Amino acid sequence: MKFIKIDREIWYRKEYFEHYLQQQTTFSITNEINITILMKNLRKKNYNLYPAFIFMITKVVNSHREFRTCFNSEGKLGYWSEILPSYTIFDKKTSTFSSIWSLNLPTFYEFHTQYEKDVEKYNGMGRLFPKTPIPENNIPISMIPWSSFTAFNLNINNAGDYLLPILTGGKYSQVNGELLLPVSLQIHHAVCDGYHASVFMNDLQRLADDSVEWL
């Protein structure tokens, strides 16, 4: 894992970055991802949707520098060479959740194996962040499987300088024989525009459609 610093004076986004950072402008977009093919492929191998959802998001984020651009703990602007998923797991006994992280592994089989180990080890511990130390190069991912939604917005008041994407999935629904999963992407306008949000959603849909290739 490496943090590559950005020289703001010669950066192509300098004007956009400074304008939207000063305004503290963030935005969210919610899209319905067609997971009909994905669910068929998952069921064939007895996999659950959530780890696949985490895996796909991590793949998309690591494919585009814009989704890895942020300030590090020293306040330096740059981008991570690799992002790890930090995701929530639900404790049925207390109806609370914990946030844990897993390594970004190249294949879904490897990731799923690690995911299962992490969930088994850290679930039910009654702590928000049971797995420490938490790596700095992570993005928050969560799912609300009890309810669908057409929009979702989560506000982080962190001096307006949290630049990494935040992803939330909802309960999928069946419409005209197809399964649709609501996915909300929240990003900072200083580093991403509507174009990048569209790239994210299109890449996510493509991974769902081509899931037989990576499952």
Reply yes or no: is the peptide bond before residue 133 cis, omega within 30 of 0: yes
99 forms beta bridges with 88
What is the sign of the dihedral through the CA atoms of 86, 131, 3 and 189? positive
The three-point CA angle 113-115-137 to 5° equals 125
State the CB neighbour count (10 A cutoff) for residue 26.
20
Q: Has this prediction a pTM greater than 0.75?
A: yes
Active site residue 189: yes
Q: What domains, with CATH codes, occur in the chain?
A: 30-213 (3.30.559.10)
**In this predicted model, what pLDDT tens digit does every residue of 93-133 receive, in sequence order?**
899 999 999 999 999 999 999 999 999 999 988 899 999 99
**In this predicted model, what pLDDT tens digit does every residue of 182-201 receive, in sequence order?**
999 999 999 999 999 999 99
C-alpha separations of 208 from 58, 69, 185 in Å: 13, 25, 16
**Distance of alpha carbon 89 from alpha carbon 162, whole angstroms:** 23
**Distance of alpha carbon 179 from alpha carbon 181, whole angstroms:** 7
Identified catalytic residue from 19, 64, 188, 189: 189
